[in-house]
Structure 1
Amino acid sequence: MMTATSAHPGTLVCNTGYCRKEKDALRWGDIELFMVMDPERPTCKVLLMHVKHRLNKGKRNNGRAPRYIYIERNDNLGLYVIQDILEYVLEDQVFASEFIQEPRDIWCYTDIPAHRKSVPIHIKAEKHHIPIFRRAARNGKGK
């Protein structure tokens, strides 16, 4: 994500360099996922992600945060940001739908009605404040 947007690390991860009580980072509430009709192939669906960078250097707390749009791609998986975010989404169980448990479930259970061009994929409201990129934590089994 940093490569695609030229964002500073403090925009995406918790930055310890600032003297703040609350460390801030990119959160689940800053991301919106959509299933959209592929403009090149109308019978196919692709994922689209809007990301709001609230913490861009020089833009913090100054008006509207810049938004970046990522779309599903197959040409260069190194720049496919949505794939990386999906791994964290499923790990944190962020989707509001209980039917989406694996990546393939997104394409199976997300249908776009004929009268629309896209459908939002909702994130649980109680997960909006959780940072996406954070330090690893051990579970009860020590893993």
Structure 2
Amino acid sequence: MNTPTRHETTPPFAVKKWQTYVPCSTLHWQPAKPFVVMRVVGDKVEVYDPTGGHRMGGRRWVALRNLHETDRTKAGKQRKTGWRLHCERLLSKHQELCGTCMNWLDPQHFGVLAWGFGHNTCTSCRAEIEARYGKLPTRR
């Protein structure tokens, strides 16, 4: 009896639009920020970083070879470079990105809705922020 290989049991890893990636390893001297995949062109990936760049975020290019499914190598060691898959946008086109935890959520799960892609804050992140820094002001 033949045992199925990994590729026969699960679909192969693919980089797709709306996936969010976080750094595999964070070093103090090497700032690496999470981002969202906007498009894949050959061996390059255009990504959107909601926390930096011009105005309300920035776009840049990343090499496809630097994006990984997990933060572990095939041998099981922790990766020191690159980014790992954090989450994907579900089928709902109405999901928004929480700029704090970088998760895709439905609008009812947000504590703060802001103008601009990736600048919203979900209710759990808002609760954590308020626990640490005090109650956030409300708009009138």
Same fold (TM over 0.5): no
TM-score normalised to structure 2 length: 0.28
Computing the radius of gyration over CA atoms, which structure comes out larger, 1 or 2?
A: 2
Counting helix residues as a fraction of each chain, which structure ranks higher?
1
Structure number with the bigger relative contact order (C-alpha 8 A, sep ≥ 6) is: 1
